Amino acid sequence: MPHEITVDDLIALVRTYNPKTNEDKLRRAFDYGARMHEGQFRHSGEAYFTHPVSVAAILAEQQLDDATIITALLHDTIEDTASTYSEVAELFGNDIAELVDGVTKLTNLQLSSSETKQAENFRKLFFAMSKDLRVILVKLADRLHNMRTIKSMRPEKQVQKARETMDIYAPLAGRMGMQWMREELEDLSFSVLNPEARNSIMRRFLTLQKETGDVVQQIKDDICTVLEKVSIEASVVGRAKKPFSIWRKMQEKDQGFSRLSDIYGFRVITENECDVYRVLGAIHQRWRAVPGRFKDYISQPKSNGYRSLHTTVSGRDGKRVEVQIRTRQMHDVAEAGVAAHWSYRDGVRAENPFAVDPAKWIKGLTERLDSAEDHDEFLEHVKLEMYSDQVFCFTPKGEVVKLPRGATPLDFAYAIHTRIGDSCVGAKIDGIRVPLWTRIRNGQSVIILTAEGQRPQATWIDIAVTGRAKSAIRRSLREEDRGRFIKLGRELARVAFERVGKKATDKALQTGAKALDLPNMDDLLARLGCAELMAHEVVEALYPELILTCGDEIEPAHAIVGIEQGQGFDLAPCCQPIPGERIVGITYRGRGLIVHAIDCPVLMEFEEEGARWVDLHWHAGTHPAAHGVTLRLTISNDAGVLGRICTLIGEQKANIADLKFVDRKPDFYRLLIDVDLRDSEHLHRVMMALEADTDVAEIERYRDVARKP
């Protein structure tokens, strides 16, 4: 059982770097949090409040300000206890209440959910970051402690949390410059997701240590000897790289452990910047530098403030050794990243010239994301931004262009100007003509060859890496395809309008464009045709009264029998139950009742929890066409096929709520269509009508278990 951190322990930890800390406020926050969480326990059986205290301690180790420490102590109070925003504001001030509320909202985001929802939640994540980055610092520390204690969770929950951490939180920590946290989060996730691989690497290390002795200490002594000879004062720290870092390198290079050489990393921390370059010279004089492995992040700092020299040399017995060289102030930023802005020393905020302004950092990160025009593009932007390691290349005039690793000349062209990208016909790297798919390496000079009349090609989407380039290419292709999209949009509008007994006249479409704040009718039709806008949205904007159910049809709120009066319910997105199917309800704490189809695979999770099952059935009357079902179709890529499919669905008096292409090939399209239906019989008729069409190769009802409640 780990040592339980007391309020005195926490205050003592904060006082080591901030003697002027508001001790009384810290004690009040500690006592308030303990009182609010009294009687709550973690999966491990420990008192729940040990978790917020441990999160506060992690942030105190990063020498953060009082507000961040207090937020950590209270970060679960608004969500999990009787505490309220107004009460926290009254006791500890509006700033802390805002921070606690921000962390609460982040906790409720399902970042590993379906792609569309994930993209929207990432928008919320970055919005929270832009308001106050300390919200993310608390969330990262919260996730780190949860990962350190993950073994007390159920196995399937461990895998879900580990995957989310590996995909989202670890890269985010790295993007913020907190490399130590990224490595620990990755390794903790690795131990859950692939324990056999991690144990194998640990065993190899032990075997290697028995065979060669403590290589880290030997190489450290060698470096210290070299520095003594040239009279440079510096501290040297060495370590074996983390198991996940080694595993990733093995995968990337397709090599076994025994063939990997640079599995050790060393840091040399000097007193001033001049000594940094002197250390580099001394190390390169003593050992042979490995070509292509030198990086100068001092003259070209990363956007999160990271500065350091990186070199790899062939050290003792020919082993490759990676060495990072930097000053003490650079090291502080390298450890804390963007969080260095809030670091305290001796009771005052540390003045570190290398600490990046969080407001500028987040603005630079988000301004590219704001331009994303759809969910997929936004998600692509985010993942590129979080995972990217940068390369620096040069224009013919010597100006530096920063691009993510793996970028191509097309990315370079669009980084300079959209006009240059659109008219690109070729590229030269270091004076040699190269294909557009060539990967640019650090330090290379790039020249873009252009020609009037050149237009972006569809294949460029797969060549480009950056969101900016992909977005510009898509925009240009969309303009070229505008005529085709307008024609398809008109057909979609006709079907949707006829369904409510109206005609899609030019006058009606112009009015619809105006109601939806679009420039004109053609723009509306083009958006309909490329599925950026749904036809039912246009109808609803013009005829909202026709969308409402009427007559003898059963209102959706009263469609299910067996629900207690006043009790709310939601239909499970994973199985999309519709009238005519057998159903069952599952109670969720804080969310009421979720209705599942009886054959939903998600129900297996509740086999041992019979108390949560509620027997339900659909009302026997007539239901409106308001129950969503997703169909997956494979159709021929021929003119008019998609329009005919939409017409067939409309003829069955069913409404297309959404349409998304999941695969486009020269000879076929695969797409998902969300259709609003009355019941299972209605579904059967729609599927039969579509299956009978000669251009429909395959049709099935699509259920996404990953969208479970």
Give CA–CA dist 485/518, Å, rounded. Answer: 16
Residue 291 sits at the vertex; the CA angle it makes with 290 and 292, to the nearest 5 degrees, is 115
The length of the chain is 709
Tokens of 273: 């910047």
Q: Residue 21 in contact with residue 14, Cβ under 8 Å?
A: yes
| Radius of gyration over every alpha carbon of the chain, rounded to an integer in angstroms | 30
Q: Which two tokens stand for residue 351?
A: 């003045």
What does the block give as tokens for 609? Answer: 């929890």
3-state secondary structure of 262: coil
CB 368 within 8 A of CB 311: no
Contact 102, 128 (CB under 8 A): yes
Task: Name the DSSP class of 47.
Answer: B
Q: What count of other Cβ atoms lies within 10 Å of the Cβ of residue 668?
A: 18
DSSP summary character for residue 337: G
* DSSP letter string, 468-531: HHHHHHHHHHHHHTHHHHHHHHHHHHHHHHHHTT----HHHHHHHHHHTT-S-HHHHHHHHHTT
| Both tokens assigned to 531 | 């599925």
Q: Which of 313, 207, 219, 210 is nearest to 258 (CA)?
A: 207
Q: 584 and 603 in contact (C-beta within 8 Å)? A: yes
Per-residue tokens: 665: 């090939």
What number of other Cβ atoms are within 10 A of residue 507's Cβ? Answer: 10
Active-site residue, selected from the candidate residues 46, 80, 674, 679: 80
Catalytic residue (choose from 79, 87, 335, 377): 79
The 10 Å Cβ neighbour count of residue 557 is 9
Residues 6+ apart with CB under 8 A from 355: 305, 332, 333, 336, 340, 341, 343
Active site residue 346: no
| Distance, first Cα to last Cα, the chain | 34
Yes or no: say if 39 and 29 are a contact pair by the CB < 8 Å rule. no
For residue 73, the one-letter residue type is L
Q: Which residues, in sequence order, are CB contacts of 12 under 8 Å at separation 6+?
A: none
CB count in 10 Å sphere of residue 276: 23
Q: Burial, 251: exposed, middle or buried (Cβ in 10 Å; 0-12, 13-18, 19+)?
A: exposed
User: Of 184, 178, 179, 154, whose CA–CA distance to 166 is shortest?
Assistant: 184
| Residue 445 per-residue DSSP state | B
Q: What is the DSSP string of 542-597?
A: H-HHHHS--TTPPPGGG-EESPPTT--EEE-TTT---TTS-EEEEEETTTEEEEEE
Q: Are strands 446-450 and 592-597 parallel, antiparallel or unpaired?
A: unpaired
Rounded CA gap, 442 and 463, in Å? 19
Confirm whether 411 is a catalytic residue: no
Note whether 165 and 143 are within 8 A (CB): yes
Catalytic residues: 79-80
